[in-house]
A and B are shown apart, each in its own frame.
Chain A
Amino acid sequence: VLPKSAEARIAAGLKQFYSHMLADPMPDKFTVLLQQLSGISRTPEGGP
């Protein structure tokens, strides 16, 4: 069993660490990729 203070620091650290990653700006390459995927998806099945 961890001390309460250790549990609290870990919980707060994880929250801050993950929040920073969630807030990371989305690179343009994902928008491009999704546009490309939409284009590919419109190709009839069995087509080129």
Chain B
Amino acid sequence: VTNLPPPEFQAELLLLLPNLRAFARSLTRSGDQADDLVQEALMKAWRHWRQFAPESNLKAWMFTIVRNAFLSERRKRKFEIPDVDGEIAGQLIVKAEQPGHMDALDFQSAFLQLLPEHKEALVLIGAEGFSYEEAALMCGCAVGTMKSRVNRARVKLAQIMGIENADEIGAGGQIDHLMRAAG
């Protein structure tokens, strides 16, 4: 008798690694911290793979494990402390020499100032392409709460980036299309 997860489970887990690391990195303040979260999540998934229902969504299951690991770690280490000078600049992922870096740096600086629940909502919906229903289930909140978090995250980003009062007023909902196309 072995505890080895089936090959298809392992293979799918491997394919998810970049997404898990990106999600973890969007939640934390450093790449090392993010990798620690993903390693912890992998070990939990390996130990408890029988709890995963094959007909359900492994990606959502793994993202939930990463998120729970993050929340647990945050409670222990209280690493969501107010930003200090230079902290945000030190964690930027897009470097200054890369093409289009100014917009990217603006976005990153703004993103890193969002509340954790706003970051995860934006990433889950806008970058990873989960439905509002899936994201709400993963985060243990109502669908309406998830929609509100995404909207607040967008507005806050626009405020920080100084683009909330541009002249052309949109009809709303366009960003959903753009984000899904991006994802």
- Mind listing 20 A-B residue pairs with CB under 8 Å? A3-B166, A4-B166, A4-B168, A6-B163, A10-B107, A10-B158, A10-B161, A12-B103, A13-B108, A13-B161, A14-B122, A14-B123, A14-B126, A16-B104, A17-B94, A21-B25, A21-B26, A22-B19, A44-B2, A45-B1
Please name 9 further chain A to chain B contacts, defined as beta carbons within 8 Å, in addition to the given A4-B174, A14-B179, sorted by A numbering. Answer: A2-B170, A6-B164, A8-B175, A14-B123, A16-B100, A17-B104, A17-B111, A26-B17, A42-B2
**Contact for B127 among A7, A18, A44, CB less than 8 A:** A18
Contact B22 A24 (CB under 8 A): yes
SS class, residues of chain A in contact with chain B: helix
Which residues of chain A (9-47) have a CB below 8 Å from chain B? Answer: 9-18, 20-24, 26-27, 29-30, 33-34, 37-38, 40-45
Contact A15 B182 (CB under 8 A): yes
Q: Give complex CA distance A1, B168 in Å.
A: 11
Cβ of B42 under 8 Å from chain A: yes
The 3 closest A-B pairs by CB, nearest first: A13-B107, A15-B182, A4-B170
Q: Which residues of A contact B182 (CB under 8 A)?
A: 11-12, 14-15, 18
Q: Which residues of B contact A38 (CB under 8 A)?
A: 4, 10
Interface size for chain B: under 10, 10 to 19, 20 to 34, or 35 or more residues?
35 or more
Contact A11 B94 (CB under 8 A): no
Contact B18 A37 (CB under 8 A): no
**Contact for B93 among A4, A21, A34, CB less than 8 A:** A21
> Which of A's residues lie within 8 Å of B, judged by CB?
1-18, 20-24, 26-27, 29-30, 33-34, 37-38, 40-45
Residue among A14, A30, A33, A40 having the largest count of chain B Cβ atoms under 10 Å: A14
Cβ of B157 under 8 Å from chain A: yes
